Structure 1
Amino acid sequence: MSNPTPQRTDYPHFQPITTRWHDNDAYGHVNNVTYYSFFDTAVNTYLIQVGGLDIHDGEVVGFVVSSACDYFASIAFPDLIEIGLRVGKLGNSSVQYELAVFKVGESEACAAGCFVHVFVDRTTNQPTPIPAGLRHALEYLVV
């Protein structure tokens, strides 16, 4: 990758994650697909706790329509990690999250990725404007 490794100072919010025994693969490190679960957990925890997203009965839900991840260094159970979270682009009904995986206490990311949520009406599955509470929470993360 030609871009420099993301630094902890690049992110305004962090979500702690505990790696689990079954996250390790046969090679002894966290499998690449697990990073997407870390990203999803970090974003949705933020949306629920800060933005007030009601995942059970709310009028909107976020659908992931795009995702990517680059890897720089391995992590493995029992590493304690933090997911750095920021917003690269905030649209009317969509948001592009930029995320990075950091070992606790380290300044350089082990991995960095992004994904796009399109917010849709729960009933019709049609794109809908991001509700005010969520938008306010997301604006805090815009870089």
Structure 2
Amino acid sequence: MARERPLRGAYRYFQPITTRWHDNDLYGHVNNVVYYGFFDTAVNTWLIEQAGLDIHRDPVVAYVAGSACDYFAAVAFPQRIEVGIAVERLGHSSVQYALAVFAEGAVQACAAGRFTHVFVDRRDNRPVAIPARLRSAYERLLPA
């Protein structure tokens, strides 16, 4: 069952993304699987640019442990979108994001998703505590 259609005010950070020609499917709108790519791009861009994660050298890696998406309205190329990011739950070694795709400047989301990252040691893939600098950045994404 679909969740309620989220509003822009529920998110703490927005990552702009430009849709691409090949994102559209035969029906003339962005294919449902592409939204997961939008989520992944937005979260990882935030981790690199806002939280300071060095994806090539940091001793920790964030793996996706689960994801889901509900769709409310179509998006199509050449539309510009913004992915809203908030943190729903911040655990010891994992974080659950609330994510939403908005048409540029729109108040209501076109799609809303959930995405969980688990932090692991790069060498042995065992769960580890979220590093303090990342935890501090995540705290800025918690609801006010």
TM-score, scaled to structure 1: 0.97
Deviation at 1:2, TM superposition (A): 5.6
Name the SS for the 1:116 alignment partner: strand
One-letter code of the match for 1:79?
Answer: Q
The answer to whether the Cα contact below 8 Å between 2:13 and 2:85 also exists between their aligned partners in 1 is yes
Name the SS for the 2:65 alignment partner: strand
One-letter code of the match for 1:44?
Answer: N
Runs of 4+ in 1 over 3 A off after TM superposition: none
Deviation at 1:132, TM superposition (A): 1.0
Alignment-derived partner of residue 119 in structure 2: 119
One-letter code of the match for 1:78?
Answer: P
Alignment-derived partner of residue 24 in structure 1: 24
Q: Does 1:56 align with 2:56?
A: yes
Distance 2:138 2:81 in 1: 22
Alignment-derived partner of residue 76 in structure 1: 76
- Number of positions where the alignment pairs a residue of Structure 1 with one of Structure 2: 143
Distance 1:105 1:61 in 2: 32
Task: Give the fraction of aligned pairs with identical amino acids, expressed as a percent.
Answer: 64
Alignment-derived partner of residue 135 in structure 1: 135
Alignment-derived partner of residue 39 in structure 1: 39
Name the SS for the 1:128 alignment partner: coil
Deviations 1:26-48 (A, max 9, x none): 11100001000000011011111
RMSD: 0.9
Deviations 1:6-38 (A, max 9, x none): 001111100000000000011110000100000
One-letter code of the match for 2:107?
Answer: S
Alignment-derived partner of residue 108 in structure 2: 108
Distance 1:13 1:105 in 2: 13
Distance 1:2 1:134 in 2: 31
Q: Does 1:87 align with 2:87?
A: yes
TM-score, scaled to structure 2: 0.97
